[in-house]
Chains A and B, each alone.
Chain A
Amino acid sequence: DTAVSQTPKYLVTQMGNDKSIKCEQNLGHDTMYWYKQDSKKFLKIMFSYNNKELIINETVPNRFSPKSPDKAHLNLHINSLELGDSAVYFCASSQVRGLADEQFFGPGTRLTVL
């Protein structure tokens, strides 16, 4: 069984469109994250939710809006897509917030904005 899954795996879209990426974890974890990995492989946290509550919100344009309907899901909606949004977006989860907990990553969603 897949621990952390993301859909879609690839997303190609035009500038100005709105798109969503879905993430689900079946590990029973309390905390979920969204990361952006740019073309240079730099991995930067965007958001973190703990039990549906937003706990980390980095300086991300407000075109990006995370939504957590329950603690097993954390979706990412992006409005008015721009060229610079092209990247791989990874969802992750961990058992509890912080400490030495390992993060479990999803397979990533490669977003290409044309």
Chain B
Amino acid sequence: AQSVSQHNHHVILSEAASLELGCNYSYGGTVNLFWYVQYPGQHLQLLLKYFSGDPLVKGIKGFEAEFIKSKFSFNLRKPSVQWSDTAEYFCAVNAQSGTYKYIFGTGTRLKVLA
């Protein structure tokens, strides 16, 4: 069965620090990968997605993620965080077969201190 794990549940950073959030999935086939963000009191929004091609994908607000197939990972990065990046971040996987069911990770709560 597919699963997604996010190892960091809570991350606290100061503004301008670099960010890397881990995401690993388990699925033997081809997958589509996503990062969503949920700002306080708001709904989930897409940050970026990987479908095929260049494994380094760039998203909105300066975020990027790298798909490393051999490690089943899709880590999210940002070189310099801002206070407004305080939010919950969810990694999600969608297998390219079957029911195309999204599996979400448990989320990482990021708090950026001003």
Give chain A's interface residues, CB within 8 Å of chain B.
4, 33, 35, 40-45, 48, 55-56, 90, 92, 97-100, 102-103, 105-108
Contact = CB atoms under 8 A, between A and B. Distances in A.
B96 A55 contact: no
B44 interface: yes
Interface in B69-114: 88, 90, 94, 96, 99-104, 106-107, 109
10 contacts: A41-B106, A42-B104, A44-B104, A45-B101, A97-B100, A99-B32, A99-B94, A100-B32, A100-B94, A105-B44
Given A90-B44, A99-B94, A103-B46, 4 more contacts: A35-B104, A98-B96, A98-B99, A105-B43
Q: Is the interface of B mostly helix, strand, loop or mixed?
A: strand
B45 interface: yes
A33 B43 CA distance: 14
Contacts of B36: 103, 105
A43 B6 CA distance: 13
Contact of B106 (A4, A40, A100, A107): A40
Contacts of B43: 4, 90, 105-108
A48 B90 CA distance: 19
Interface residues of B, number: 25
B99 A102 contact: no
B51 interface: yes
Contacts of A33: 102
A98 B31 CA distance: 11
The 10 closest A-B pairs by CB, nearest first: A98-B100, A100-B51, A43-B104, A105-B43, A105-B44, A100-B32, A41-B107, A102-B46, A107-B43, A42-B106
Contact of A43 (B42, B90, B101, B109): B90
B21 to A, nearest CB: 14
B67 to A, nearest CB: 12
A45 to B, nearest CB: 6
